[in-house]
Amino acid sequence: MSTTIKMTFEARLAVIRTVDDLEQQISLAKTYAKNLRAKAVKAGSLAEKLAINEQVKAAEQVLRQLRFRSFDIEDAINAGGFNGVLA
């Protein structure tokens, strides 16, 4: 099983229970986006590159959301009230 599986922001939140989990999800999201960018560069046709670039945009959006909300998530974890869902 690949560790760079396409996941939404909500799916990544659902597996976070500790600060280490948060850091791991950020790292996995970053790796997934990086791998997609490399795949787009190697794509043969323009249509394939455009399709992969749409996936890159979505992956980068998830990564931005994780980074942006990381302090909120960390605060919720440390307060003991984080159950994988942010208000």
CA 78/CA 52 separation, integer angstroms: 37
Query: What is the distance between the alpha carbons of residues 28 and 15, in angstroms, rounded to a whole number?
Result: 12
Its pTM stands at 0.86
What's the whole-number mean pLDDT along residues 10-20? 93
More confident residue, 76 or 1: 76
Q: How many CA atoms lie within 13 A of 10 on its CB side?
A: 1
Distance of CA 65 to the CA centre of its chain: 8
pLDDT digits (tens, 9 = 90+) for 31-69: 999 999 999 999 999 999 999 999 999 999 999 999 999
Q: Where are the domains of the chain?
A: 9-77
Whether residue 1 is predicted with pLDDT greater than 70 in this model: the reply is: no
